[in-house]
Amino acid sequence: MKLTTLTTLLAALAFTARAELKLPAIIGDNMVLQQKQTNPLWGWDKPGTEVTVTFAGQTKSGKAGADGKWTVKLDPVPANAKPATISIKGSSAKEIKNVLVGEVWICSGQSNMQWSVQSSWDSDLEIATAKYPNIRLITVPNVGTQEPQQDFKGAWAECTPQNVGGFSAVGFFYGRVLHNILDVPVGLINNAWGGSAAEAWVNRGELEEDPRFKLLMENTKANEARLTSAAAKQKYEADLAAWKQQADQAKQVGKAFTIRAPAAPDAWLRGNARPGNIYNGALLPTIGYGIKGAIWYQGESNASRAYEYASLFPFMIQNWRNEWKQGDFSFYWVQLADFMAEKTDAEQATASQWAELRESQTKTQNAIKNGGQAVIIDLGEANDIHPKNKRDVAERLARWALVKDYGMKLPYRSPEFKSAEFAGTKAIVTLDTFGSSLRTVDVSDVKGFVICGEDKKWAWATAKIIGKDKVEVSAPAVAKPVAVRYAWSDNPVCNLFTTDGLPVTPFRSDDFEMLTKPKP
């Protein structure tokens, strides 16, 4: 902490020596301000300098503090697609041009959120038609550090066929739905980082103070000590020398050499899994900017710790909200898709870390306010952790926002487990269908259920829909069932949907101990 304080102080002193009015990347030409709410604007100038901001008939003033930072808050204004200018005067003057007012969303998570438009299905058509000057895009670079960052390298830009290809596909498709339906400008902030762990997105100090994450932080500190040791450096140098020798030998005999170079000890220290790294490097420079909410697609990297994720994920969301100081803003996420090999043995199929992670994601809906989950158990690909159909993913997320944030009447929530009654050889499962009715797709038979008796040995079950929200489940091998599960595997074969086209959320009726629960 002392080192961090000293670093921040030295940076402030260095800035003071060359002081002039400076703005962060998140505040610049082509930006979108969030409509109908207060919008903070900030920057830096010589300490003590009075800074005046003029926009839409209002003038606000603030004074640069000892660290040079100043902040003003613009009064709420309605959506406006007519480009406007923000004038700022301090020790010098700046103008922010082509500013719109509309809806602003953070697009965050790991690689499936980072996955680009150009790598998704129908990318040729999607890119060619992406002529949306009132959708504005900005991408935050992947920076992992324990040192709090105040800015990043990036800039807002109008959405065009020339620049949309590299942008988040889920983010763009989500923003496009909102833009086309609401007919207002949309700003999208993409800060996703492939392979990132949830703990990297959280203020580390908050994690260290919560006893639920004691094991996580103990492991973190042990890893840090190991990776910064002389032994780790020596091992890396030896491994690197051996790798270079292998590469040279392969080159001499004309053989292909595809073995990756060993990772440097500091790779994890600067990477996307160390607690606090992404929070400091990519999230912090945007915190405080006026937003409507966030969309999130992550979880794969935390699947082996699904039990912990049930606490960590809502904790992360609350940490963001606390730091943003904008109340319980909307936060919608994508449940893990179906992935990996389909398993024919019921016992093996139900031993799934991914199923447990999905359950932790589902539980988060009850742990926070203003949150919701897009279920995509039908949109994955067995042989690719990055399913290419991002448009349907985004549209399921958008349904949540259109209903919860914008007051529309639409189907938006996948059916969820409500109760199970066991009588004789059968289980009667009741689902909350949120006003819709159940149906199957592809085949008439209901697929995806398993049941077990007191011995906890799972067997594939036959099932049939017996009402708009009920399913009857049984299996010849289970004379007296005590528990039932649906779509409970890495890549389940399941086909239960609503008549509105939303897949049933994977669930279990039991509370058997989770595979991912830490052992004493």
Pick the closest to residue 311 from 274, 370, 361, 372 (CA basis): 361
Burial degree of 384 (CB within 10 A; 0-12, 13-18, 19+): exposed
For the cut 80, the answer to whether the pLDDT of residue 4 exceeds it is no
Q: What is the predicted pLDDT for the residue at 15?
A: 45
Considering the chain, what is the average pLDDT of its residues? 96
Pick the closest to residue 402 from 91, 159, 186 (CA basis): 186
Q: 488 versus 519: which is more confidently predicted?
A: 488
Residue-wise pLDDT for 437-479, tens only, equals 999 999 999 999 999 999 999 999 999 999 999 999 999 999 9
Q: What is the predicted pLDDT for the residue at 520?
A: 78
Q: What is the mean pLDDT of residues 223-241?
A: 95
497 DSSP 8-state letter: E
What's phi and psi for 179, nearest 5 deg? -60, -45
- Give dist(CA 216, CA 276) in Å, integer: 12
What is the DSSP track for 398-429?
HHHHHHHTT---------EEEEEEEETTEEEE
Q: What is the predicted pLDDT for the residue at 225?
A: 97
pLDDT > 90: what percent of the chain? 96
- Give dist(CA 371, CA 74) in Å, integer: 27
For the cut 50, the answer to whether the pLDDT of residue 17 exceeds it is no
Q: How many CA atoms lie within 13 A of 292 on its CB side?
A: 27
Q: Residue 166 corresponds to which tokens in the numbers above?
A: 């590299």
Which amino acid belongs to residue 235? Answer: K
- Give dist(CA 212, CA 205) in Å, integer: 13
Q: What is the predicted pLDDT for the residue at 3?
A: 53
Q: Residue 173 corresponds to which tokens in the numbers above?
A: 């498709």
Q: Residue 89 corresponds to which tokens in the numbers above?
A: 């005067």
Residue-wise pLDDT for 43-72, tens only, equals 999 999 999 999 999 999 999 999 999 999
H-type alpha helices, 304-455: 306-324, 346-350, 353-367, 391-404
Q: 7 versus 362: which is more confidently predicted?
A: 362
- Checking phi first, is residue 336 left (phi over 0); if not, alpha (psi -120 to 50) or beta? beta
Length of the chain: 520
Q: What ranges do the domains of the chain cover?
A: 14-208+273-404, 232-264, 416-508
How many other CB atoms sit within 10 Å of the CB of residue 320?
A: 22
For the cut 60, the answer to whether the pLDDT of residue 9 exceeds it is no
CATH class of 14-208+273-404: alpha beta
Place of tokens 């102080």: 9
Q: What is the predicted pLDDT for the residue at 294?
A: 99
Residue-wise pLDDT for 75-90, tens only, equals 999 999 999 999 999 9
